[in-house]
Amino acid sequence: MDASLNIAIAAEFELCEKIAETLEKSELAIEKLLIVEIYPFEEEQGIRFKNKAVAQCSPTEMDWREVDYLFFAGTVEQVAHIADAAEQGCIVIDMKGVCSTLSDIPVVVPSINETDLVELRQRNIVSLPDPQVSQLALAAYPLLKTAHLKQIFTTSLLPASYHQAETVTKLAGQTARLLNGIPLNEEETRLAFDVYPQHTSLLSQQFRKIFPQIDSVVFHSVQVPVFYGMAQKVTALSDYEIDFQPQESEFVQYHEKLITPVMSGEIESEISQVKLHISQVNGVENGIEFWTVGDDQRFHLACLSVKLLEAIYHQGY
């Protein structure tokens, strides 16, 4: 494979690091990696790729005609950068699904619906869904190949890292202050030692773009005082009894014992491989329930985005 690819990353510093690390392990031969600072880095922050410092520039300085692919992990308010890049011929991987509601933007999870990449020809943009959706899609996919599921109910326990690096820092700071008897300011959102619900308006729509045959999928999301690692409790129901035999894949690993976010992090630090971990698989009346854990940063955003880019490249886009 010729080393001729020019790739840009537009994300927070911590996520840029994880994407660069994952790209180094990929099959892609990359000539140039570039950081687009949609979130300005601190002075001491810098990305290295193949033992070399990576150049950083602002979005206004970009000539997108010089970039083949862009990893974009910004907000809806920053979506104009996606449009600029795509209009100039750069293929954009929308890592957080901010464009996923548009009818002509495919929503793709690697290993599940890569054939939908043919729609890339329309806008040069593909959305990876929200990590909550990716996690459920990968876990439910083996079931959907053998059973007709009528309803899926999912409760997502969201870590601080699900939002941004600043939230992780806030959780750490609040935890330390409260343990030392220092009260929080009244206007602060309390992250430490507390939970609260999160709004999930677009998740079901994203899921049904991947699996249009599903009649009903319900997401409940709860913010929890965990630093890294998203957990989901899933119940899938059918009109008939489900006979499910777990089958591991490139992205999914089953466990007989319960796996928690902390345990999954410990496992992956030892083997240097991120996966979706599934445990507590049990039958219910005309259905099945299980517990899943995945690193929302390293697995859902970095790993799946790079795998999606590999699929895009190999399909000739």
pLDDT of residue 126: 97
How high does pLDDT run on average in the chain?
92
| pLDDT given for residue 170 in this prediction | 93
CA 84, 85, 91, 96: dihedral to nearest 10 degrees? -80
The C-alpha atoms of residue 49 and residue 8 are separated, in whole angstroms, by 12
Domains 5-128+301-314 and 132-295 share a fold: no
3-7, 54-58, 70-74 — which is least confidently predicted?
3-7
Can you give the residue ranges of every domain in the chain? 5-128+301-314, 132-295
Residue 166 neighbours by CB distance under 10 Å: 12
What's the whole-model pTM score?
Answer: 0.93
The highest-confidence range among 100-104, 151-155, 283-287, by mean pLDDT, is 151-155
Distance CA 274, CA 19 (A): 13
Give the pLDDT band (50/70/90) at residue 270. confident
C-alpha 61/C-alpha 16 separation (Å) is 19
CA dihedral for 282, 288, 291, 295, sign (positive or negative):
positive
Does the pLDDT at position 1 exceed 60?
Answer: no
Give rounded-to-5 percent helix, strand, coil for the chain: 35, 25, 40
- Residue 211 corresponds to which tokens in the numbers above? 């699996």
Q: What is the pLDDT of residues 202-218, one digit of tens each?
A: 899 999 999 998 889 99
Question: Domain 132-295 has what CATH class?
Answer: alpha beta
d(CA 105, CA 180): 49
- CATH code of the domain made up of 5-128+301-314: 3.40.50.720
Angle at which helix 13-25 crosses helix 165-179, to 10 degrees, equals 120
- pLDDT confidence tier of residue 179, bands split at 50, 70 and 90: very high
pLDDT at residue 94 greater than cutoff 50: yes
**CA separation for the pair 286, 237 (Å, rounded):** 6
String of b and e for 21-40 (b: at least 16 CB within 10 Å)?
ebbeeeebebebbbbbbbbe
Host H or E run for residue 287: strand 287-294
Question: Residue 97: its pLDDT value, please?
Answer: 92
pLDDT single digits (tens) 223-257: 999 999 999 999 999 888 888 878 888 999 999 99
Is residue 178 exposed (0-12), middle (13-18) or buried (19+ Cβ within 10 Å)? middle
